[in-house]
């Protein structure tokens, strides 16, 4: 029901209430109200109730809009509180929280992703370029994953991914897809130069019996093996 319909309904109720009361009073001996006075009662009821109803409905609509805006802002703040401000991925705490909820499910895999030679971007091109690289890598990771997967920035140039419901071969292929997506990036530095990005990735199956940190530690060891093995590659934990 729209605002005009609400006002019309409220005024109608007021008028009908006035008519009903006058009709009841008329049935009392000695209290008969002539019919012509009914029109006066209807006019007075409508003229008094209309501005009151307009005011109340207007206030109700304003309150409804304010409540809707408040709910939207709360949802927005809740979303931002779980996000890394630079990459848009989950923050460290949010990643561990959400991955912990699905850790006991079978078929989960963890990726530890570390940008290769990240310090060079800051040293050679400035921190603005380093931030641009982090943002681009975060977007590449997010776009390479499925809707049920989780991805977060753990800190610095290190990222984590939780692949859900995967066989070993599929998890490896998806990790390679993430690596290739990062390798395909071309980021324009503040100086105007185009910089290329690669990352080393460690892959580990989830161990539901042990804490999530144990699975991530195995992925971390595999990621360091990828670093020492030449970088820009995926290594799966034994």
Residues known to be catalytic: 157
* Cα distance from N-terminal residue to C-terminal residue, the chain: 64
Report the alpha-carbon distance of residue 195 to residue 186 in Å, rounded: 6
Contact 92, 153 (CB under 8 A): yes
Tokens of 158: 């290190």
**How far is Cα 30 from Cα 7, in angstroms, rounded to an integer?**
36
How far is it, in rounded angstroms, from Cα 4 to Cα 15? 16
Q: Which value, to the nearest 10 degrees, does the dihedral of the CA atoms of residues 160, 161, 167, 169 take?
A: -70
Residue 114: in which H helix or E strand, if any? strand 109-115
Max CA pair span of the chain:
108
Which of helix, strand or coil describes residue 139?
helix
């Amino acid at each position: 029901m729209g605002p005009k319909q609400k006002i019309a309904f409220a005024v109608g109720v007021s008028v009908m209430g006035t008519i009903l009361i006058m009709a009841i009073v008329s049935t009392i001996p000695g209290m008969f109200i002539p019919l012509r006075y009914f029109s006066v009662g209807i006019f007075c009821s409508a003229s008094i109730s209309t501005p009151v109803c307009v005011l109340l409905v207007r206030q109700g609509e304003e309150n409804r809009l304010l409540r809707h805006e408040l709910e939207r802002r709360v949802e927005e703040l809740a979303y931002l509180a779980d996000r890394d401000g630079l990459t848009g991925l989950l923050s460290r705490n949010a990643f561990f929280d959400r991955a912990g909820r699905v850790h006991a499910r079978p078929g989960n895999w963890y990726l530890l992703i570390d940008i290769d030679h990240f310090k060079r971007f800051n040293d050679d091109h400035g921190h603005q370029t380093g931030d641009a690289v982090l943002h681009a890598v975060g977007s590449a990771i997010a776009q390479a994953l499925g809707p049920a997967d989780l991805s977060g920035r753990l800190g610095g140039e290190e990222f984590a991914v939780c692949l859900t419901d995967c066989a070993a071969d599929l998890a490896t292929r998806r990790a390679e897809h993430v690596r290739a997506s990062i390798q395909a990036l071309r980021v324009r530095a503040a100086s105007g130069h185009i910089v290329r990005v690669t990352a080393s990735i460690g892959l580990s199956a989830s161990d539901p019996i042990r804490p999530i940190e144990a699975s991530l530690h195995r992925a971390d060891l595999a990621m360091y093996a990828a670093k020492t093995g030449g970088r820009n590659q995926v290594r799966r934990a034994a």
